[in-house]
Structure 1
Amino acid sequence: MRQNPSFTLADVAEIRRLIDGNPWATMMSSTPDGLVASHYAVLLDETREDLTVVGHVGRPDDLVHGIGETEMLLVFQGPHGYISPGWYGDVASVPTWNYTAVHLAGVPEILSAEENLVVLDRLVDRFEGRLPAPRRMWERPNDEAFVTRLAAGTVGFRLTPTRVVAKRKLSQNKPPETIEAIIAELEGTGPYADAALASEMRRAHAAGNGTRS
């Protein structure tokens, strides 16, 4: 992802927030057989305060990606959407796409079976916890044997990135009145309305993260 000073996101807390709020990641690796990509839920490592993440893949994706040996790129995609030039008023302009994205690259380490179970437990709790009657991993008498057997078909990993590229392209290069017009359209009822993207724009500009170029 090409970086642009106007849209660079360097605040670790904000990057962590985007990862935490958008855990469905695309993982890519360059292998002797060519590029490969997979999609899995990935979480921040709760024992760390940096951008280390943990996750798992189903076998044989660990071999397909060369986990533990090959550099992996994890891509997290936050709110994004189409921005019409008609929202800028009667000025020369072109369509664009506003978005937030985080790229983490590094060689992941393979977790032990015990560590993998902890990660799987966290994943279940993270997503089941929103339900009125969540199904936990260990709540039934025979769950331990069942979960242990299924966990053996997965490989857990921890990735501490050696390269990070985070970008928040949210009309920072536009004047305040144009930004407000775009947000109003996103908060409206049109075909490209997107409340999440509007909220992300308000957050970025209210915090003074945008810079004019």
Structure 2
Amino acid sequence: MRHTPHFLMTDVDEVKRLVDGNPWATIVSHTGAGLVASHYPFLLDTSRADDHEIVLVSHVGRPDEVAHELGRHEVLVVFQGPHGYVSPAWYPPEQFVPTWNHVTAHCWGTPEILSDEENFRVLGELVDHFERAMPSPISLEVDEETARRTAKGTVGIRIRVTRFDARAKLSQNKAPEVVERIIAGLRSDGPYASPALADEMERAHGLEER
């Protein structure tokens, strides 16, 4: 990412919050055949991490594990949080250059290939994680035999993040009154409305309780 020190996000807990709230990620591998990218949901593996670590679990559908050469080298996993266009209509007249606010994390690590049993457990946790928002959650236990047959088409992975580069670009370089106008614009019914991005800006600027 572009080197922007004043937007750096260095708190491990903040990166974990981003991952937990935005689990759909992009995996990028530099393989012998060139760059390969795929998209899968990730969960935080809290059972394998201490407070200062980020450990991710997911799965890929076969044959992506071959295409990515998983386990043979480091991969990059990109998490994208709320983002959106910021119009100069929300700035003072003399500030006419727009921007794009975003919360993003790049995480690096070498995948560990999970056993079939552990992969099935992680698949179950993924399903349970997303089903918990449903009125009547459904789990793989509904038909475990069929679920296990389906799981054979996937390969589970665990990635212990060895380093990350994260940004929370949320108009920290703007005056408080301009920040409030941007938030109001994001909460409007205009073409660039983004309540989730407005929430992130309020959090970053300490405006949640106002």
TM-score, normalised by the number of residues in structure 1: 0.93
Map 1:53-202 onto structure 2 (within 5 A): 53-139=56-142, 143-202=143-202
Q: Distance in 2 between matches of 1:20 and 1:76?
A: 10
Contact 1:36 1:65 in 2 (8 A): yes
Contact 1:77 1:101 in 2 (8 A): yes
Q: Distance in 2 between matches of 1:203 and 1:167?
A: 14
> C-alpha deviations, 1:157-188, integer Å up to 9, x for none?
11011220010000001111111110111111
Q: Distance in 1 between matches of 2:144 and 2:139?
A: 11
3-state DSSP class of the match of 2:42?
strand
Which range is displaced more, 159-168 or 42-51? 42-51
Identity %: 55
- Structure 1 stretches lacking a partner, 5+ long: 208-213
Q: Which runs of 4+ in 1 moved over 6 A?
A: none
- Structure 2 stretches lacking a partner, 5+ long: none
3-state DSSP class of the match of 2:6?
coil
- How many residue pairs match? The answer is 204
Contact 1:3 1:165 in 2 (8 A): no
